[in-house]
Amino acid sequence: MSTFKAPKGTYDLLPPDSGRFLAVREAIAAPLRDAGYGYIETPGFEDVRLFARGVGESTDIVSKEMYVFTTKGGDELALRPEGTAAVLRAVLESNLHKTGNLPVKVWYSGSQYRYERPQKGRYRHFSQVGAEAIGAEDPLLDAELIILADQAYRSLGLTRHRILLNSLGDATCRPVYRAALQDFLRALDLDEETRRRVEINPLRVLDDKRPEVRDQLTGAPLLADYLCDACKAYHEEVRALLDGAGVRYEDDPKLVRGLDYYTRTTFEFVHDGLGSQSAVGGGGRYDGLSEMLGGPELPSVGWALGVDRTVLALEAEGVVLDLPPVTSVYAIPLGEAARRALFEKVTELRRAGIATDLSFGGRGLKGAMKSANRSGARLALIAGERDLVDGSVQLKDLESGEQHAVPLAQAVAEIQRLLG
């Protein structure tokens, strides 16, 4: 062991388990690509003010969880805690929204950093795949994104995820509701910090997970009762579209999100096998964010799914992903001359697109066979001095144990035939 450890709240992805991470990322990305979302990648850090403005000063993310640092040049930067603000910054900066092709549909994948209290499913470095549809106000888009996330979870074999759905209203109806909620909350027995939150961002008090707060929220006014006609119609349309797609969801009138910029459609994906870190993903509409960043009016909708928690959800459901074996052929050279001859074959096989590994370091047959079996390969390609004198190699089927000799020159063709 070295004297160093991974920083608190982080962990390493190691093979072979890391294969599941890649598979989850890919499973989330595949439906997006097929639905016209293009890949976008932004830097791992941004001007701290982008997040302060775009996520909201009063959010936990900005007020408590950000990794902020000053560069040698004097810039105040923050490691990104989430993806949306940066994606919108990039779209505005590159004028992607001016191509006349709205909405701009993009997806991203990458690390996020939040200074949180680490626990299972809650890390300081974690991974998200996210999608954003920027520049169109259309319930079809809200529905499309929810359906694509559901499709991703299903393609992984998850069945115990649930979709919670709500509407947060818009600039017309939310202020009325906000005032009513504040009146209600001001009368409660709350601690100092929560009282402050009531004044700055009362909706987020509804998101409080503490039982002593939750108990008092029972009679709180609900946004659903305050939605203006336009918001109500929009929300009904999203619900009808999900119904039409056969995607089940639960109306959750208390669902709010930790980020300030959400309007109208808000949703969360939860998984019941994860204990208190039950959210595997979340998102919603953020019609006002572009203007908050100094851009034009660009109503948008998006989500971010947590890769780490999705992997935990797979574990909780006991889903074993059907990952293709990393190695198809494992070469075992016995002796100096065989090393060279087989290394050539290995290179040839790899160039032919066949996943091939070999035994390094001049190991004996027994140890090398163990590695071959552990690699998951279907075939072992074995050659000793005597085989080479005959101009042949041994091909061993690692499942049946059957072995036969083939001419060295035909080894690649024979392997291709056997692997189909």
By the criterion CB under 6 A, which residues form the site for ligand ATP?
82, 114, 116, 121-123, 126, 128, 258, 277, 279-282, 304, 306, 308-309
Give the C-alpha separation, 209 to 347, whole Å: 57
Count of alpha carbons within 13 angstroms of residue 15, beta-carbon side: 5
Distance in Å, CB of 87 to ligand ATP, minimum? 14
For residue 185, report the phi and psi dihedrals to the nearest 5 degrees.
-70, -35
Distance in Å, CB of 270 to ligand ATP, minimum? 8
Give the C-alpha separation, 198 to 201, whole Å: 6
Give the C-alpha separation, 285 to 300, whole Å: 6
Which lies closer to ligand ATP via its Cβ, residue 122 or residue 160? 122
Distance in Å, CB of 305 to ligand ATP, minimum? 6
Which lies closer to ligand ATP via its Cβ, residue 182 or residue 278? 278
Distance in Å, CB of 285 to ligand ATP, minimum? 14
Which helix H or strand E contains 131, and what residues bound it? strand 125-134
Q: Which residue is nearest to ligand ATP (CB)?
A: 306
Distance in Å, CB of 122 to ligand ATP, minimum? 4
Q: Which of 330, 362, 358 is nearest to 343 (CA)?
A: 358
CA 234 from centroid of its chain's CA atoms: 28
Joined together, the tokens standing for residue 262 give 């959400």
Which helix H or strand E contains 370, and what residues bound it? helix 365-375
Q: Which of 184, 419, 131, 141 is nearest to 302 (CA)?
A: 131
Which lies closer to ligand ATP via its Cβ, residue 304 or residue 412? 304
Q: Are strands 329-333 and 356-358 parallel, antiparallel or unpaired?
A: parallel
| Residue 414 identity (one-letter amino acid) | E
Which lies closer to ligand ATP via its Cβ, residue 111 or residue 347? 111
Which lies closer to ligand ATP via its Cβ, residue 311 or residue 388? 311
Which lies closer to ligand ATP via its Cβ, residue 201 or residue 328? 201
Distance in Å, CB of 277 to ligand ATP, minimum? 6
| Angle, vertex CA 371, rays to CA 368 and CA 377, nearest 5 | 110
Which lies closer to ligand ATP via its Cβ, residue 128 or residue 167? 128
Distance in Å, CB of 262 to ligand ATP, minimum? 10
**Cβ atoms of 269 and 306 closer than 8 Å:** no
